[in-house]
Amino acid sequence: MKKRALAILSLSFLAFACQEDETPIIEQPTFENQESEWIRIVSWDASGRFSMMNPLTGNVNTPSVNPFAEGSRNYISPSGQYITSVERGPGVVRFFDTGIVNHEDHGHEYDIRWLSATAEAPLPTHYSASKGNIVIFNDGDGSITWAREATMETPSFQPVVLGGLGNEVHHGAATWLNGNKFAVTFKSPDIPGALPQTIKLLDANKSVLAENAAVNVSGIHGDASNGEFAVFGGTTAVLVARANNEIFKIDNVAPLEPTSGNWMGTIKAHDNNAIFYGWSRNKGIFAIDPAAKSMRNVYSGDDVAGYFFSADGSKLIVQRASNEVLVLDATSGNTIVQAAIPVAAVEDFSARKSRDELETYRLMNENPPVLTSSERYLYVLSPSRTQIDVLDLADLKTVKTMTLSSPAFTIMRVGFQTK
């Protein structure tokens, strides 16, 4: 009887031990197992020479391609594959393929190259992109340039310039909406100055789909789209166009005022987020909800050096002049974390504030040249410009430092998230 009891006890112990051995080991999150293998950090030196680093391996690719033009403004496409390079003075827009191709559940890495097709129009200025559609407003004649990512890999790719819109020569903006519609600014010839007063919805044949004369302000600057809504900054209200052909406005809230530096002249959006974020030079950052027709202040102050969405649109990253960085939940606008971090200098902040108001708003439309973000990590160009520090967006603590072979002038995240 004792032997039988011991045998049963032994079997029970072995069964328990087997269960213990089969308990899965939970892998602790690290930069190496959290960052996507398809994220790359590109950099330019002072002469426009391009390099691309894999942050997981540290491998650097410096291709033998023509450098980016001095003074060009460079923007990442929604897919993360292409860089649009805008040369305002010469009136040329070029397109650069990083070779990082997103096939949804996997990716490929091909040759880095300039596309042969370019777009030419006088004074290409305001850039906007949504759902693979790139739109640039050309100040010199009021035309818009439209490029579709889906056709860029084809030999027949050619961006389209839509001109003769009847919107006067002005410092304007345009963006794309679902259904291949374009929200475009229009200027009244009776009102002096460079800024437009109203917007219209056009189709790809330049026909007017919608307009609302009652929706107007004395001046418009800046816009952004998430495909469903397009929001334009204005002196007394933001103007909104919707893909269903609705045009309306949302009155600015206090402390915004229709005076220089006190209204929102920069607007930013992300395809994955319903909330837009506008910036006023003196009043700070405001969350705009076009579906609810509301707005509210989420950061007060005249010290914003730059702000931008994380790659997935879940967070809004704000850089202050003091180089303190705030990470906000991009849906609620609530601050997740903030910390002072060492970062490469761009220009004296007081010099930026002394710039022409419209030039300041135009520059703020660009992402900061020394900060960039993937879904989970913030990449920071160090004060020496020879290192890039990687910070976790959850707590802004450094998880890795990458060394560059030569000083970088600008950095940018390209590629896409798979993990």
Q: Above 90 in pLDDT, residue 24?
A: no
| Residue 224 CA: distances (Å) to CA of 23, 28, 183 | 49, 38, 10
Q: Report how many domains make up the chain.
A: 1
Domain presence at residue 22: no
Distance, in Å, from the CA atom of 385 to the CA atom of 411, rounded to the nearest integer, reads: 10
Residues 97-126 have a mean pLDDT of 90
Domain presence at residue 212: yes
Q: Among 18, 56, 57, 20, which residue's Cα sits nearest to residue 36?
A: 56
Q: Above 90 in pLDDT, residue 335?
A: yes
Residue 114, C-beta contacts closer than 8 angstroms, at least 6 positions apart: 65, 66, 94, 95, 96, 97
Whether residue 255 has a cis bond before it, omega within 30° of 0:
yes
Residue 349: per-residue pLDDT:
60
Q: Among 302, 327, 298, 301, which residue's Cα sits nearest to residue 314?
A: 327
Question: What band does 354 get if pLDDT is binned at 50, 70 and 90?
Answer: low
Distance, in Å, from the CA atom of 252 to the CA atom of 343, rounded to the nearest integer, reads: 33
Instruction: Compute the Cα dihedral for 138, 143, 145, 146 and give only its sign.
Output: positive
Distance, in Å, from the CA atom of 27 to the CA atom of 170, rounded to the nearest integer, reads: 56
Distance, in Å, from the CA atom of 43 to the CA atom of 364, rounded to the nearest integer, reads: 20
Name the residue with higher pLDDT: 6 or 356.
356
Residue 14: per-residue pLDDT:
47
Instruction: Compute the Cα dihedral for 197, 203, 205, 210 and give only its sign.
Output: negative
The domain in which residue 376 lies consists of 50-415
Name the residue with higher pLDDT: 5 or 124.
124
Residue 229: per-residue pLDDT:
98
pLDDT in tens, 242-293: 999 999 999 999 999 999 999 999 999 999 999 999 999 999 999 999 999 9
Residue 217: both structure tokens together: 């302000």
Domain presence at residue 404: yes
Domain presence at residue 25: no
Residues 117-143 have a mean pLDDT of 97
Residue 6: per-residue pLDDT:
45
Residue 397: per-residue pLDDT:
97
Residue 3: per-residue pLDDT:
47
Q: Above 90 in pLDDT, residue 164?
A: yes
Residues 112-131 have a mean pLDDT of 97
Residue 3: both structure tokens together: 């032997």
Question: What band does 324 get if pLDDT is binned at 50, 70 and 90?
Answer: very high
Residue 208: both structure tokens together: 């007017």
Residue 36: per-residue pLDDT:
85
Domain presence at residue 31: no
Domain presence at residue 23: no
CATH number assigned to the domain comprising residue 243 = 2.130.10.10
Residue 4, C-beta contacts closer than 8 angstroms, at least 6 positions apart: none
Q: Above 70 in pLDDT, residue 204?
A: yes
Q: Above 60 in pLDDT, residue 115?
A: yes
Phi, psi of 55 (to 5 degrees): -70, -20
β-bridge partners, 174: 184
Phi, psi of 274 (to 5 degrees): -85, -15
Residues 92-109 have a mean pLDDT of 87
Domain presence at residue 8: no
Residues 59-71 have a mean pLDDT of 93
Question: What band does 109 get if pLDDT is binned at 50, 70 and 90?
Answer: confident
What distance separates the 2 farthest-apart alpha carbons in the chain? 108
pLDDT in tens, 293-303: 999 999 999 99
Domain presence at residue 3: no
Distance, in Å, from the CA atom of 27 to the CA atom of 18, rounded to the nearest integer, reads: 21
Residue 341: both structure tokens together: 């971090």
Residue with tokens 């530096």: 261
Distance, in Å, from the CA atom of 357 to the CA atom of 281, rounded to the nearest integer, reads: 8
β-bridge partners, 73: 86
CA Rg, the chain, in Å?
Answer: 24
